[in-house]
Amino acid sequence: MSILANLLELYIYDFTELKAFKLGGDGRFGYPDLPLYWTEPDRHPFLVKVDDHWSGFVLVRRGSQISGDEDVWDMTEFFVLRGYRRLGVGTKVAHDIWRRFPGKWEVRVIERNQRALSFWQGAIAGFLREPLQPSRLEKGASVWQVFSFESAE
């Protein structure tokens, strides 16, 4: 769990360009839900390695954080270190995850995160073999683009 916790710090740091995250008293951002990925059966953590080096992680959970639909798979968090981006690593990992968990999926992207939005449009279009337009959703102070699709077995 410590490797994932460390990678989450880098992930959250990257997000400080888009959202106001504050460091805790220990100098870390923290991720309170992380222990749940080892205790709840509908949460799944994955670490990503490239050439035997840690290069990212994925957190997947059952249950939509948008619609409340309990049958939807949610790409809760997805991170590839900057040095491994644009090499196809993220797309391969996303496709592997969607194949591993067939069914309805939602992928949420903060609208201001144009690089992530472009990545998800390409990754999802490659997986489905056709483009998919996201839906715009305002939730609280955040505006999201939400991709909804189905992954077959």
Write down the pTM of the prediction.
0.93
The distance in angstroms from the start CA to the end CA of the chain is 29
Is 94 among the domain residues? yes
The answer for residues whose C-beta is within 8 angstroms of residue 126's C-beta and 6 or more apart is 91, 95
Is 27 among the domain residues? no
Tokens 């805790």 found at: 24
Is 16 among the domain residues? no
Domain residues for 114? Answer: 40-151
* Mean pLDDT, range 54-71, rounded to an integer: 92
pLDDT tens digit sequence for 75-111:
999 999 999 999 999 999 999 999 999 999 999 999 9
Q: What is the CATH number of the domain that holds 91?
A: 3.40.630.30
Is 55 among the domain residues? yes
What is the count of structural domains for the chain?
Answer: 1
pLDDT tens digit sequence for 110-144:
999 999 999 999 999 999 999 999 999 988 788 89
pLDDT tens digit sequence for 6-60:
999 999 998 888 787 888 889 899 999 999 999 999 999 999 999 999 999 999 9
